[in-house]
Amino acid sequence: MGKLTVELSGMTLKNPVIPASGTYGYGMDYLDFYDVNILGSFSIKGTTLHERDGNGLPRICEYDQGMLNSVGLQNPGVYDVAGKIFPELKKVYHGQVVANISGFSFDEYVECASVMDREDIVGLLELNISCPNVHGGGASFGTDIPTAVEVLKRVKQSVRKPVYVKCTPQCPDLVGMCKALEENGADGLVLSNTFLGIRLDRRTGKPIMKNITGGVSGPGIFPQALYKVYQVYPHVHIPIIGCGGISTADDIIEMMSAGAAAVEIGTLNLTDPQRIPQIITELEQLCDTLHVESITEITGRAHR
């Protein structure tokens, strides 16, 4: 067991670095850059029950400290992922992945989760509850506590693998949401998904993206994402995966100090696809500098 080893609900990771869903495809896009087996794990592209083309173009735009996206969960559907993509992935990747799943109704979540639960390459299920709830008139599952709890309970009844819930920072009571999720069976949390934002074309004054708004990510949101983890950590007793704007080994130390047991790195995979191996090396060197024998020691130290 190395000094970077962490454990998430029985899943052992050689380091706490997990490329985030939506930025890493299904893993094979990065084989030309480095051996993906150096990762702690990675979160697969957000997968839904049925194939989706995603939102119309343009659906990505940049800002000085990151990007906005409104891709809209483009993916081939869970049965193609399980039946076609995973068999190819197993040829090159020898660990387990985090399966990010989404749905537009309770039944879609349950079926998608059940399919992923049967796959031995999946170590954790990551429920993305930022999707519109068809039964709730289009409101996000992740902004209403009773609705989020209901989808979690239904999924937990249908699977055996640990279920982590990826929460949206748009939730008006994030602490209350996370406490309720823990009380109703969540094995862990991912804090958090992207913040909501907009960019306008300076020539026309109109929104740049066809969907008008998009999820803001990148280094510019790191202090806000860090605060979400810091805010929630004292109120729960389940692992938190910290996510949002992480781009350096120092950022990982901060995020874990705030309460994260591991981290997800997103936008950096798109802006500098060769950077993560360097960060893992730098993280181990930083632990030596800080006289940290096991990186698990620092989780939550901001509160001690």
Q: Does 170 map to a domain?
A: yes
Q: Whole domain around residue 105: which residue ranges?
A: 6-55+74-195+217-303
* E-state strands within 32-121: 60-63, 66-69, 97-101
Confidence class for position 132, pLDDT limits 50, 70, 90 = low
Bridge partner list, 190 = 166, 241
| Rg, the chain, Cα only | 18
Positive or negative, the CA dihedral 63, 66, 69, 75 is positive
Nearest to 82 by CA among 99, 57, 65: 99
Q: Please check the confidence at residue 134 and state whether its pLDDT lies above 70.
A: no
Q: Distance between CA atoms of 19 and 66, rounded to whole angstroms? A: 16
Q: Does 67 map to a domain?
A: no
Q: Does 63 map to a domain?
A: no
CB 217 within 8 Å of CB 244 = yes
Q: Does 206 map to a domain?
A: no
- To 5 degrees, how large is the angle CA 195–CA 11–CA 221? 15
Nearest to 10 by CA among 188, 195, 216, 260: 188
In tens, the pLDDT along 142-182 reads 999 999 999 999 999 999 999 999 999 999 999 999 999 99
Confidence class for position 136, pLDDT limits 50, 70, 90 = low
61 is catalytic: no
CB 130 within 8 Å of CB 168 = yes
Q: Does 186 map to a domain?
A: yes
CB 152 within 8 Å of CB 186 = yes
Q: Does 207 map to a domain?
A: no
- The pLDDT assigned to 130 comes to 80
Confidence class for position 137, pLDDT limits 50, 70, 90 = low
Q: Compute CA distances 167 → 79, 184, 239, 285, 304, whole Å.
A: 25, 15, 13, 31, 25
**Options 61, 112, 131, 167, the catalytic residue:** 131
- The pLDDT assigned to 1 comes to 75
Q: Does 60 map to a domain?
A: no
CATH number of 247's domain = 3.20.20.70
Annotate 137-180 with DSSP letters as a single string.
TT-BGGG-HHHHHHHHHHHHHH--S-EEEE--TT-TTHHHHHHH
What is the number of domains present in the chain?
1
Q: Does 204 map to a domain?
A: no
- The pLDDT assigned to 133 comes to 59
